[in-house]
Amino acid sequence: MNTQPASAPSTGFRAIDVIRKKRDGHELSRSEIEFFIRGYTKSEIPDYQASAWLMAAVLRGLTRAETAALTAAMLHSGEVLDLSEFPGKKVDKHSTGGVGDKTSLVLAPVVAAGGLLVPMISGRGLGHTGGTLDKLESIPGFRVNLTVSEFSDVLRQSGCAMIGQTAEIAPADRKLYALRDVTGTVESPHLICASIMSKKLAEGIDSLLLDVKTGSGAFMKREEDARFLAELMVETGEQMGKKVVALITDMDQPLGSLVGNALEVMEVLDVLRGKGPEDLRTLCLELAGWMFHLGGVSVTVEQGRELAAKIIASGKAMKKFGEMIALQGGDRGVVDDPKRLPHAKYKLEVTSARGGYVTSVDCEALGTANVILGGGREKKEDSIDPAVGLALHKKVGDQVGEGDPLCTIHYNDTTRAARARQLIGQSYRVADSPPAKVRALIREIIKS
Ligand code: URA
């Protein structure tokens, strides 16, 4: 952690004044925002001042102009990749974060196997949600911290590469993201927009598909807030000359049946094998369909969806995933033998106290249970336990008998498992009748 407060002789700004101005609800100028982001990226502004500013931004909000300035300052904190040497369209997808949301790991190989280039810069777990990088790192040896030239080499050889923000690409987001994770400053549409769009615009892509989550496990719990965030990101991307489409999708319950880093990689392998839970498979095909459409490979989204299903059935997507794993230093053997992924030592069942139907789950609580087990971070310095997580046996609408298992906890630490068990037990609602309506997986499409 940095310890020296900022001084900014060249600009005349002081971090304390920028914090106070935002705290008091005033609009910051572009140069004040640039000063703050540059100072924090260079460690001239310490974590404690950045945390205070982030909290002020969450509570007071940012204007459209401030959001645009923040996105640009974060984007230009590092390099913007020039992928013009690669022929063909470059397309990517990003989710605003959910529980059990592992679609990126399916989409990158499927879409690359279909002929598009997928240069993906992803994030780690954030708050109660999981992160693509933590999931990938559960594959023994997998490196997410490639240099720009290594990233280009992997792209050249396999058509897809998945890395994190680095000291070279989107370094401001790398630092702010880790700080927001542990300071309760994730839930702001403006900060989420700047975080996502700064790293995605640094990728040198032509088009971007956004999966904006809504529901009890999303950062935007209400659909109208998800729509606001989707519109903000589509507008920001379009201003920067990119084709951007956002799908608003359900996060009222975890996606798929497995939550936790290695467990989610196992479920990804199931989907790439043509199996896997229905909701996860349906969403992956829909997102892939849109990516093919945006990249000009298919005329319609429906044709794109069919192409994605064919690519999975042919085994090409699984082959591509294995190729990318090997190129990024990982154990390609996990593709044929998922037992090579880390496994937790112990398992514990959470059972239903009564018979009936599952009418709802508190999806955020399930994500928090995974964090408590060690699948996410409670402090910046925490390391991840890749093996822990949850296997869900019942989802919303399912019938359940008294004493039936709702969920199995995979754990390595008994005290943590006890805390997680309590949270999980409280998060399931079981009633005599099924829920009136299970909410649709795909709610809305936002385009400019
Ligand atoms: N994903 C990101 O990359 N950033 C956020 O702030 C939220 C989700």
CATH number where 417 lies: 3.90.1170.30
Q: What is the residue range of 375's domain? A: 342-431
108 with 235, same domain: the answer is: yes
Residue 146 counted as domain residue: yes
pLDDT given at position 10: 61
Does ligand 1 come within 6 angstroms of the Cβ of 192?
A: yes
Q: How many domains does the chain have?
A: 3
Burial class (CB in 10 A: 0-12, 13-18, 19+), 239: middle
Could you tell me the two tokens for 352?
């239903």
123 lines ligand 1 (CB under 6 A): yes
Tens place of pLDDT for every residue, the chain, 448 residues? Answer: 343 444 444 679 999 999 999 999 999 999 999 999 999 999 999 999 999 999 999 999 999 999 999 999 999 999 999 999 998 899 999 999 999 999 999 999 999 999 999 999 999 999 999 999 999 999 999 999 999 999 999 999 999 999 999 999 999 999 999 999 999 999 999 999 999 999 999 999 999 999 999 999 999 999 999 999 999 999 999 998 999 999 999 999 999 999 999 999 999 999 999 999 999 999 999 999 999 999 999 999 999 999 999 999 999 999 999 999 999 999 999 999 999 999 999 999 999 999 999 999 999 999 999 999 999 999 989 999 999 999 999 999 999 999 999 999 999 999 999 999 999 999 999 999 999 887 899 999 999 8
Atom of ligand 1 nearest to the CA of 191: 6
Torsional sign, CA 242, 174, 182, 441: positive
What is the rounded distance in angstroms from the CA atom of residue 328 to the CA atom of residue 119? 13
Reduced to 3 states, what is the DSSP secondary structure of residue 75? helix
**CA of 112: how far to CAs of 72, 123, 281, 288, in Å?**
28, 20, 17, 10
Q: At what angle do helices 316-327 and 103-113 cross, to 10 degrees?
A: 110
What confidence score (pLDDT) does residue 115 get? 97
CA distance 265 to 233: 28
Residue 377 catalytic?
A: no
**Under DSSP, is residue 30 helix (H, G, I), strand (E, B) or coil?**
helix
Set 77, 195, 198, 216: catalytic member: 195
Residue 448 has what pLDDT?
Answer: 85
Q: Which of 101, 174, 195, 203 to mutate to test the pocket of ligand 1 (most atoms within 8 A of CB)?
A: 195
Residue at 444 is within a domain = no
Q: Please report the pLDDT score of residue 159 as a whole number.
A: 97
pTM of the model: 0.95
Tell me the one-letter amino acid at 172: A
Which ligand 1 atom minimizes the distance to the CA of 194? Answer: 6
d(CA 367, CA 364): 5
- pLDDT at site 3: 37
Q: Tell me the CA–centroid distance for residue 126 and ligand 1, in Å.
A: 7
pLDDT recorded at residue 11: 74
In a shared domain, residues 409 and 317: no
CB-CB neighbours of 266 under 10 Å: 20
Instruction: For tokens 């969920």, name the residue.
Output: 407
Query: Among the options 94, 102, 128, 421, which is catalytic?
Result: 94
Q: Is residue 89 among the annotated active site residues?
A: no
Asked if the structure places residue 67 within a domain, the reply is no
Residues 294, 198 within the same domain: yes
Give exposure, 373-403, as e/b (b: 16+ Cβ within 10 Å): bbbbbeeeeeebbbbbbbbbbbbbeeebeee
Residue 6: the pLDDT is: 46
pLDDT of residue 4: 42
Token pair listed for 111: 């879409």
Structural domain contains residue 101: yes
Supply 17's token pair: 């004044």
The answer to whether residue 79 is domain-embedded is no
Angle between helices 301-314 and 316-327 (to 10 degrees): 70
